[in-house]
Amino acid sequence: MHLAYPAVLAALLFCTGLYGVLARRNAILVLMSVELMLNAVNLNLVAFDVWLRDALHAGQALTLFTIAIAAAEIGIGLAIVLMVYRNRGTSDVDRLRDTAERHESGPDTPGGRPAPNHQSEVTA
């Protein structure tokens, strides 16, 4: 098999994942798009490993590491998304960014940081 077929497929997968990361608003769909991009990298690693006829199969070994990292990324990413959804009630990336900007520029001080509370000192 020619190297061009898996390389073109990997490029299409990567471009689809990149579009999903840039265009999606839902955090879970952004995580799925990152996974699609990582799978495109895995396809390239295996294709070049077969094409170069590597005796050590370094491309396949790197693919296993990439799969392990992707699994950890999805586990932590979903935990963060669920925590944000429980606290804010949405997983929309744009709305989360807007609330973060609103929180930084609050009414207390010009920088958005709360004014120091000097009344909390206890005098005996």
**Across 15-22, average pLDDT:** 96
Q: Does the pLDDT of residue 50 top 90, yes or no?
A: yes
Cα–Cα dist 49/43, whole Å: 10
| 46 C-beta neighbours (distance < 10 Å), count | 17
**Across 67-78, average pLDDT:** 94
Cα–Cα dist 74/59, whole Å: 22
Encoding tokens for residue 21?
């990361």
**Across 42-58, average pLDDT:** 93
Q: Is 62 in contact with 45 (CB distance < 8 Å)?
A: yes
Q: Is 81 in contact with 27 (CB distance < 8 Å)?
A: yes
Q: Is 35 in contact with 74 (CB distance < 8 Å)?
A: yes
Q: Is 21 in contact with 77 (CB distance < 8 Å)?
A: no
Cα–Cα dist 42/29, whole Å: 20
Q: Does the pLDDT of residue 52 top 80, yes or no?
A: yes
| Top-confidence residue, 97 or 18 | 18
Residue 67's contacts (CB-CB under 8 Å, 6 or more residues apart) are 42
| Top-confidence residue, 27 or 112 | 27
